[in-house]
Amino acid sequence: MAIREGRWDCPTCGMVGVLGRQMNCPGCATPRPQGVRFYLPDDAAEVTDAAHLARAAAGADWICEHCGASTPATQDRCSGCGAERGGSALQGTHEYGMDDVPRSGQDRGAPPQALMTQPGRRRRWKTPAFLVALVAGVMWCNGSREVEATVAAADWERAVEVQDYRTVREEDWSVPQGGREQRSWRAIRDYRQVLDHYENRTRQVSERVQSGTRTYTCGTRDLGNGHFEDRTCTEPQYTTNYRTESYQEPIYRREPIYDTKHAYEIERWLPNDTVWARGDAARDPSWPAVTLDDKEREGARMEKYVLHFRDKDGKTYDVELPMDRYRRYRPGQAVELRVPRGSGKVEIVEPEQR
């Protein structure tokens, strides 16, 4: 693992770029202080000299507890005052990732990842032109105009369905109450999927397997003696393997489900006739007279009321209404109509809506 020589800046005289191996500032001769910050310039070359490497690999320097001088880990006596190592402290070591290696004396490492909030920029919504056109178009289609018109005519119709009680023939899977069975037979009522057999098939399958590991430089270590050593990390490497797998596929068949079907006769009330009454403005709406025999009854009722209007240009409009509103209008009466531009119904503008 590559070892490189770092640098330090003298806090006493301000000299910058002092070589890592130097224990005293060449500018002012002050011993390299404890806690000095070592840095590793981008272009720092790898140390290759054997003695230099051994010195760098020996461990952190110790700081003399008596005079403050730095001494390599390989020496037991202080290089400044000759005192024994005793309880002297070690120069600190640090681990750095690739992104936070200090590159100069001013480089205090990576700045804290501040959550910088951008000055509030007002978000302005721009409405696309085509959307404006679309909305305007929809509004225009939904729009309407008002037309002055008079009631030209009115007509109504009412109807009553007449049902009779009849014998009919029906078929079903059971005979309902009141039915008289004529015959029955076996018939297919439904189908179900039944497992028939399995077939041997093959398919391609892929699987991700670890093929080995990759070692890479993931940072550097400040050795506490003016030198840095590359940190290495490993990560698994994967490869995708393909193979042919055999499997059994279930094969189904459609099997009919039989049941008994019945034909029967039964009496039902069924529509047989419709009796109508029709009229115009001259005649009040009324229900048609219905005469029933003993096998007949009344069924559904239907009613419809329509006013016919004409405007000053002779254009006509039909408006269908419920009876209570229909009866409020008489021929010749002037009204205001709301006529839609697109599709939709013509409506009468009631006086209270104006």
Least distance between Zn ion and beta carbon 239 (Å): 56
- Can you give the length of the chain in residues? 354
Q: Which is nearer to Zn ion, 71 or 163 (CB)?
A: 71
Compute the least distance from the CB of residue 33 to Zn ion, in Å. 10
- Give the nearer residue to Zn ion in terms of CB position, either 84 or 280: 84
Whole-number Å distance between alpha carbons of 185 and 183: 7
Nearest to 36 by CA among 112, 95, 99, 91: 91
Residues with Cβ < 8 Å from 199, sequence gap 6 or more?
A: 248, 249, 251
Q: Between residues 65 and 107, which has the closer beta carbon with respect to Zn ion?
A: 65
If the CB atoms of residues 16 and 136 are measured against Zn ion, the closer one turns out to be: 16
Q: Which is nearer to Zn ion, 226 or 285 (CB)?
A: 226
How many CA atoms lie less than 13 Å away from 341 in the CB half-sphere? Answer: 9
- How far apart (Å, rounded) are the C-alpha atoms in residues 335 and 333? 7
Please give the residue ranges that form the binding site for Zn ion (CB under 5 A).
Answer: 10, 12-13, 15, 25, 27-28, 30, 64, 66-67, 69, 78, 80-81, 83
CA–CA separation, 94 and 8 (whole Å): 15
Smallest gap from Cβ 98 to Zn ion, in A, equals 31
CA distance 347 to 290: 34
The CB-of-53 to Zn ion minimum distance in angstroms stands at 26
CB nearer Zn ion, residue 2 or residue 83: 83
Phi and psi angles of residue 270, each rounded to the nearest 5 degrees, phi first: -135, 150
Instruction: Of 26, 22, 46, give the one whose Cα is nearest residue 36.
Output: 22
In the complex, the smallest distance separating the C-beta of residue 40 from Zn ion, rounded to whole angstroms, is 20
Amino acid letter, 54: A
CB of 81 to Zn ion, least distance (A): 3
At residue 138, what is the residue type?
V
- Quote the least distance from Cβ 70 to Zn ion, whole Å: 9
Nearer to Zn ion, 15 or 90 (CB): 15
Residue 106 or 246 with smaller CB distance to Zn ion: 106
Q: In the bound complex, what is the minimum distance in angstroms from residue 12's beta carbon to Zn ion?
A: 5
Any residues with CB less than 8 A from the CB of 163 and at least 6 apart, and which? 269, 270, 271, 272, 296, 297, 298, 299
What letters, b where the CB count within 10 A reaches 16 and e where it falls short, cover 39-57? bbeeebeebeeeeeeebbb
